[in-house]
Amino acid sequence: MVLLKEDISVWDFLKKSDKPIFLYGMGNGASKILNIFKTYEIKCSGIFASDNFVRGHFFEGFEVLKYSKVAEDFKDFIIVMAFAVKTLDMIDMVYNLSKKHTLVSPDIPVAGEGVFNLDFYNKNLEEINKVYNLLFDDVSKKVFINILNFKISGKISYLLDCQTSREEVFENILKLSNIESFIDAGAYNGDTILEFLKFSGGEYKNIIAIEPDYKNFKKLSKTIKQHGISKITSFNLGVWNKKCSIGFSHNSGRNSFLSDSLISKIEVDTIDNICNNSNIISFIKYDIEGYEKEGIQGSLNIIKKFKPKLEIAGYHRNEDIFSLPILINSIDKEYKIYLRHHPYIPAWETNFYAIRD
């Protein structure tokens, strides 16, 4: 059974605090946090950025201040992280900042609505406990508990305490052979393909790359050409649980996403259809901005037939941390399910890895 260490959500903590609260950073994340502040009636005292980024501009009605100015004027204040960091030097910077001030990094879903608070946790406790018992190794169980505590509290110490490298996954879990047939669903600019080539030693059977955003697809095509990647087929498509057209938001980055809105229309299809004439598929990566469930549903034939290794992003929606492993287990109970968190603040790059002997 999963036992939380945290008994108050980051939002209730902020609401009850009498200290000034400052957002660190701007952009979509900051706007989402400010909207949640309104719901919880949390007062924002201001917004700041790193000193070298401040140019006298405003964001959401706040003048963007220099960190040094805030630190000079307010000796004791709370920092709310409003942007993501993944490089080790940036993570170290945030960690060092957390030693000087109270710092939280609220978990905001990339897709979907609501927040991961205690009410959400308790409502889904049965599924959460089920996933804990499904996880194959002790490292996965520790990561699971830490991620849940982080999602509730926003305390970055939980992330720093459980992060592991991508190398560890490839060496100890995925263990690529020289005859892999790799499907990259959400190929972005080809970065994960280059990673696949690195850990497969450049020896593989074939690669199928799928990316819906047309600007990202151009970057992907450029990467393929620049690196002379052979035995690869790329599709400018979205991955879904059926063949149709669907709304799409083009952000020209990792956060381009499928949408119910009419921003624009793109073609989507199932992996089963896209790979209909393929031979054995041995490895599928799903990183499709909150629609991993639909992507898996559209791969049922391949999963059941070939039992490929699976890498699944588990952080886009609040429910992903428990709904996705339960889905995999319902398809094939023989899959060994692992969970790893790779260096990132907030809890992005928290992935499930499923291996079938």
Question: What is the reported pLDDT for 251?
Answer: 58
Tell which residue, 179, 170, 174, 183, has the closest CA to residue 204. 179
Looking at residue 62, its amino acid is: F
Confidence tier at 256 by pLDDT (50, 70, 90): very low
Q: Which helix H or strand E contains 181, and what residues bound it?
A: strand 181-185
Summarised one tens digit per residue, pLDDT across range 107-144 is: 999 999 899 999 999 999 999 999 999 999 999 999 99
Q: What is the mean pLDDT of residues 144-171?
A: 98
Q: What is the mean pLDDT of residues 23-28?
A: 94
Cα 11 to the center of its chain, rounded Å? 21
Q: Are strands 257-259 and 265-269 parallel, antiparallel or unpaired?
A: unpaired
Question: What is the reported pLDDT for 68?
Answer: 95
Question: What is the reported pLDDT for 247?
Answer: 79
Confidence tier at 248 by pLDDT (50, 70, 90): low
State whether residue 147 is helix, strand or coil: helix
Question: What is the reported pLDDT for 75?
Answer: 84
Q: What is the dihedral of CA 272, 274, 276, 279, to 10 degrees?
A: -100
Q: What is the mean pLDDT of residues 224-250?
A: 91
Determine whether domain 166-355 maps to CATH 3.40.50.150: yes
pLDDT > 90 fraction of the chain, expressed in percent and rounded: 89
Question: What is the reported pLDDT for 331?
Answer: 98
* Sequential DSSP letters for 7-60: -S-HHHHHHH--S-EEEE--SHHHHHHHHHHHHHTPPP-EEEE-GGG--S-EET
Mean pLDDT of the chain: 94
Confidence tier at 258 by pLDDT (50, 70, 90): low
Question: What is the reported pLDDT for 84?
Answer: 96
If phi over 0 gives left and psi between -120 and 50 gives alpha, with beta otherwise, what is residue 332?
beta
Summarised one tens digit per residue, pLDDT across range 52-98 is: 989 889 999 999 999 999 999 998 999 999 999 999 999 999 999 99
1-106 against 166-355: fold identical: yes
DSSP 190: S
Confidence tier at 47 by pLDDT (50, 70, 90): very high
Residue 157 has pLDDT above 50, yes or no: yes
CB within 8 Å of 315: residues ≥ 6 apart: 110, 321, 347, 348, 349, 350, 351
Contact, 254 vs 344, CB < 8 A?
A: no
Contact, 318 vs 350, CB < 8 A?
A: no
> From CA 59, how far away is CA 56, in angstroms rounded?
10
- Stated pTM of the model: 0.94
Q: What is the mean pLDDT of residues 275-294?
A: 92
Question: What is the reported pLDDT for 176?
Answer: 97
Determine whether domain 1-106 maps to CATH 3.30.420.40: no
Output phi, psi for 229, to 5 deg.
-75, 125
> From CA 298, how far away is CA 275, in angstroms rounded?
11
Question: What is the reported pLDDT for 265?
Answer: 82
Q: What is the mean pLDDT of residues 36-44?
A: 97
**Domain-by-domain residue ranges, the chain?**
1-106, 166-355
If phi over 0 gives left and psi between -120 and 50 gives alpha, with beta otherwise, what is residue 307?
left
